[in-house]
């Protein structure tokens, strides 16, 4: 999967969690939860939705990417 497809998967996953989220306005190196005001349940739902769309299993909490760039890289590099 390339970076554009990964970003599209993240965007689609966020629509059900935070429909007002605008990834174009997000600093790709900043903490995604802070940028989009996501709580821990939102992040869990995002991780699950990304997995369902991409097949990539993201680590829980401690090892999970916290930035948009990190999330994209994790999806592109895959399991």
Count of the separate structural domains present in the chain: 1
Q: How confident is the model at residue 62 (pLDDT cuts 50, 70, 90)?
A: low
Q: Tokens representing 29?
A: 């190196």
H/E stretch holding 44 reads: helix 40-54
Measured distance CA(24)–CA(41) in Å, rounded: 23
**49 is in which domain, residue-wise?**
3-20+29-77
What's the pTM value of the predicted model, to 2 decimals? 0.88
Q: Is the pLDDT of residue 63 over 80?
A: no
Residues 14-49: tens digit of each pLDDT: 999 999 999 999 999 999 999 999 998 998 899 999
């Amino acid at each position: 999967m390339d970076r554009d497809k990964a970003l599209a998967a993240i965007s689609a996953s966020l629509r059900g969690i935070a429909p007002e989220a605008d990834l174009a306005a997000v600093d790709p190196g900043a903490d995604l939860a802070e940028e989009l005001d996501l709580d821990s349940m939102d992040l869990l739902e995002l991780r699950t939705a990304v997995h369902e769309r991409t097949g990539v299993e993201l680590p829980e909490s401690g090892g999970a990417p916290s930035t948009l760039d990190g999330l994209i890289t994790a999806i592109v590099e895959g399991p």
